[in-house]
């Protein structure tokens, strides 16, 4: 199995992932927990201080995708993604938890939840990912 440190090194090769301030907090067989460091550039509504939904959708997608990395050893392309928004994300780091639902030979399904520092659910979603044979 790939290690937490190896996953974080792979993850942070992407400049966008680095910009998101991602850190791998935990890794298991088919699970991952990431931490995303809040940035003022995430804000879409200055008056309300809300984080743009695209940031949350990105975190859902990449967290579900990288849960699969614990089994595949590499990132996989997204085929389909569904995101549900539960409450506004205000200033503060985000915790992103992902788990594989089904690891298939050609397509896999994984889901993710994004929570704030108080543990409140902000967004959740499920993705379908192409998992071709090595």
Domain ranges in the chain are 4-130
Q: Which residue, among 9, 51, 34, has the nearest Cα to 98 in the 3D structure? A: 34
Q: From start to end of 86-120, where are the E strands?
A: 94-102, 107-115
Tens place of pLDDT for every residue, the chain, 134 residues?
789 999 999 999 999 999 999 999 999 999 999 999 999 999 998 999 999 999 999 999 999 999 998 888 888 899 999 999 999 999 999 999 999 999 999 999 999 999 999 999 999 999 999 997 76
The CATH architecture annotation of domain 4-130 reads Roll (3.10)
Question: pTM score, two decimals?
Answer: 0.95
pLDDT at 134: 60
Q: Hunting for tokens 């984080």 — which residue is that?
A: 51
Q: Determine the angle formed by the axes of helices 53-72 and 4-11, rounding to 10 degrees.
A: 130
């Amino acid at each position: 199995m790939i290690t937490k440190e190896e996953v974080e090194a792979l993850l942070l090769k992407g400049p966008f992932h680095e910009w998101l301030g991602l850190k791998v907090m935990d890794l298991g067989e088919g699970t991952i927990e990431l931490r995303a460091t809040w940035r003022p550039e995430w804000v879409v509504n200055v008056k309300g201080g809300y984080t743009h939904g695209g940031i949350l959708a990105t975190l859902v997608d990449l967290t579900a995708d990288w849960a699969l990395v614990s089994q595949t050893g590499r990132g996989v392309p997204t085929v389909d993604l569904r995101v549900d928004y539960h409450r506004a994300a205000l200033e503060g780091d985000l915790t992103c938890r992902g788990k594989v639902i089904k690891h298939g030979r050609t397509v896999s399904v994984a889901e993710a939840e994004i929570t704030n520092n108080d543990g409140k659910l902000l967004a959740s979603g499920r993705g379908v990912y192409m998992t071709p044979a090595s």
